[in-house]
Structure 1
Amino acid sequence: MLNMTYEYKLEPTSSQSQTFDHWLEVCRKVWNYALRERKDWYNSRSCGINACSLKSEYIIPADSPRPNFAVQCKSLTTARQSNSELKTVHSQVLQQVLKQLEKAFTSMWESGFGFPRFKKKGRMRSFLFPTPNKTVVIGNRINLPSIGLVKFRDSRPIPDGFVVKQIRIVKRASGYFAMLALALDVSIPTTMPHGYALGIDLGLEKFLATSDNELVARPKFFVDAQRKLKSLQKVVSRKRIGSKNWQKAQKKVARYHQHISDSRKDFHFKTAHHLCNQAGMIFAEDLNVKAMAKGMLCKHTLDGGFGQFLSILEYVCFKKDVFFLKVDKNGTSQTCPQCQTHTGKKPLSLRIHQCPECGYEADRDVAAAQVVVQRGLAAVGHTVKMLSEGKATRLPVMKESPSL
């Protein structure tokens, strides 16, 4: 089964925008009510009968079932019969809110995520149609259950044979978007190692260095935008909270944040395509991005978006039939790619790799990328030599990357 998601910008009418906003607000209330119900049940059983709090205690009957997805769905069905506000929203959309809450608790128990939080007004950003209508796209309009036809920008056609399984409506600073989850019942063979091998090393000095001695500069999307963001946020601070002018100023800040995010994502896609156009195999370090984001240079690490780039690179490799593999990251900058000697730790200020054994000299990040490609080739059963003609027995000279 092949699954992928297409994103389209919606152009709803004013009444349809009001309907979207109303649905999001009802979904937020359902989320908060269900979360409050779960927290009360857990708090009523958080201490023994001989250790109750002297101040207050939650008292819920002992035979009350634990509020899970099935129990709360039954309660939602009963509540819809008496609550007119709940009737205005598609029943499956509200059920998906409860399912999302159940998934949040499962992630907390099994994956170490934090406790789910209540959502204040405006924080619910999306809702999901799990079973869309049979005919989803009619011309340049999307047929949404209980809402009808909504105009959208048909930026690219849906491929033949794909079926729309789900539709998620997402609210962003620039408007509403529709995420169409497409599926095709085919078996896609796994990409096998082939062609020229390329290793990459991600960093803050240079965004990316390849084993071919190509260096890609790191655009500082957020850092360069801080001055304008500070100016926009000053305007917000001078407005009365909740007023119309305050909302307009807040929207300008949100639009600029989205501009920064879109610019970063565009750079990641262009860089990924640039790499895939020159290799049949790409190897990268298996980075612990979550730990990197907690270091002293966390702002610059998050500005680089290494986790997003690796996900995009893996997707582009799949699309272009390029083999992609992550290798062990430990010791890549402490190993000589020429003689495999462990050179020890280097301070971050030292940007040149100089091997004391064989005398090999190269850029520090390029040497690490060459170690990465050697580990990748060893992992797939190839020799540690490069597979391209003319590059099998020598390491090329360092050069600057052309602008992407």
Structure 2
Amino acid sequence: MRAAYQYKLRPTKQQAENIDKWLSMLCAQYNYLLADRFNWYEQNRCSINACPLVCHLPELRDNPDYYSQKKTLPNLKKTHPHYGEIYSQVLQDIVKRVKVTFDRFLKGDSNGKRSGRPRFKSRDRYRTFTYPQMKDGCLQGNLISLPMLGKIKVVLHRAIPDGFKIKTASVTKKESSGYYLTLSLEDATVPTIKPDFNSESITGVDVGLKEFLTTADGETVSIPQHYRKAQKRLRVIQKRVSRRKKGSKRRQKTIKQLGKQHKKVADKRKDFHFKTANNLLKKYDVIAVEDLNVKGLSRSKLAKSVLDAGWSSFLSILTNKAEKAGLLVIPVKASGTSQDCSSCGVKVPKKLHERWHDCPNCGCSLDRDHNAAINIKNRAVGHSVLKAKSLLSSSRIVLEAYTVCEASV
């Protein structure tokens, strides 16, 4: 079982300077390796027999893959001796990061989905480096020993569970709040939780902008609107930033204040999402949700409200927590959930401002979001996993009845 814990780091002034220096050098090396890959890609992307008649064919060279780029690191330390100050495995991890980024651009991920063209990173956007391996006992009390950085104080707001070993450690610099340590933990003795849920304990969830969500039982969770409540304060600080001279220390200080304010909003939203997901999973074993195109909705007139609600983040948290608890979250088709009647299935057209559902066919009358949540639940009932679960339970009942009858005979 794998888990990730994040802690606040309290480095000394010298350690903070070393971390910043490492990030600057690693950013330069990342951009260099990425440029090397792009150089090869631009020269060799077209086969020779497909070139135009008048063209310049450069000297072809081998593809700069993971291993060939890794072999360049010893020579890098000779030509640029200051790179010897960086721990070797941290430097090697940069090569791996470039490989993953470029492979996703050319080949796509495990699902075949390709990402966009990788970007070169500016120094203020390169914030993290990773130790791929950590020794046992590297964390002693509230001090963690990081190779070539020394022992750094950690704010251990929660203890590491017994039996878990630290596999990797990542150091991240956040301009608004300082330095953080992310530990990847593993315990091979803990088995993966297999889904074990009651298919009868199911509900549908309709997310919205009037209420954050409405369940099929009619329960609602009000929308907090964290960003809109913080807009007044954000507007004041943003004006200060725009009035400061570019490149000045006062402008940098004000940008840091703005980042802290945005972080407060993000933290409040994240806390709300986790608490809402926990409350749902305590009540239900199976939760049906809409398979929404949040990216498309964020380009509409309701963009600010949609992004403030954070539906995509909430659904991701809900799915992950359900998987860890052995429960189930089922995405269903979103089209027509608000228009169709949950009682008779007849389509009842409604505009966005019409918040009540009145069916002329069967007389069903209830809130629009409540009606949509029931439709989502009804669509999830036909899910193959739930069907298999119900068939399994029914076969057990038949088998038990047969056994009882056979015993009585």
TM-score by length of 2: 0.86
Aligned partner (choices 118, 128, 131) of residue 129 of structure 1: 131
Partner residue in 2 for 1:183 = 186
1:5-404 aligned within 5 A: 5-45=4-44, 48=51, 50-52=53-55, 60-62=58-60, 64-109=61-106, 110=108, 111-172=113-174, 173-185=176-188, 186-194=190-198, 196-339=201-344, 341-379=345-383, 380-381=386-387
Partner residue in 2 for 1:389 = none
More helix by share: 2
Tell me the CA shift for residue 60 of structure 1: 4.8
* Mapped partners of 2:43, 2:329: distance in 1: 50
* Mapped partners of 1:302, 1:33: distance in 2: 35
Write out per-residue CA displacement over residues 226-254 of structure 1, whole angstroms, 9 at most, x where no aligned residue: 33222212212222222211211111111
* Percent identical residues: 36
Structure 1 segments unaligned to the other structure (5+ residues)? 384-404
Partner residue in 1 for 2:395 = none
Residue 304 of structure 2 aligns with an amino acid whose one-letter code is K
SS at match of 2:115: coil
* Mapped partners of 2:81, 2:307: distance in 1: 44
Does the aligned pair in 2 maintain the 1:133–1:143 contact within 8 Å? no
Does the aligned pair in 2 maintain the 1:41–1:60 contact within 8 Å? no
Does the aligned pair in 2 maintain the 1:343–1:356 contact within 8 Å? no
SS at match of 2:283: coil
* Mapped partners of 1:318, 1:37: distance in 2: 40
Tell me the CA shift for residue 319 of structure 1: 4.4
Write out per-residue CA displacement over residues 324-376 of structure 1, whole angstroms, 9 at most, x where no aligned residue: 3222323222222222x131442111111122221111111111111112222
Q: When the two structures are aligned, how many residues end up with a matched partner?
A: 375
Tell me the CA shift for residue 198 of structure 1: 2.0
* Mapped partners of 2:194, 2:294: distance in 1: 26
Structure 1 residues 206 and 129: alpha-carbon distance in aligned structure 2, compared to 1, 3 A threshold: same
Does the aligned pair in 2 maintain the 1:133–1:144 contact within 8 Å? no
SS at match of 2:151: strand
Partner residue in 1 for 2:405 = none
Does the aligned pair in 2 maintain the 1:133–1:145 contact within 8 Å? no
Does the aligned pair in 2 maintain the 1:268–1:312 contact within 8 Å? yes
Residue 178 of structure 1 aligns with an amino acid whose one-letter code is L
Structure 2 segments unaligned to the other structure (5+ residues)? 391-409
* Mapped partners of 2:327, 2:203: distance in 1: 11
Partner residue in 2 for 1:4 = 3
SS at match of 1:313: helix
* Mapped partners of 1:133, 1:154: distance in 2: 19
* Mapped partners of 2:299, 2:77: distance in 1: 44
Partner residue in 1 for 2:393 = none
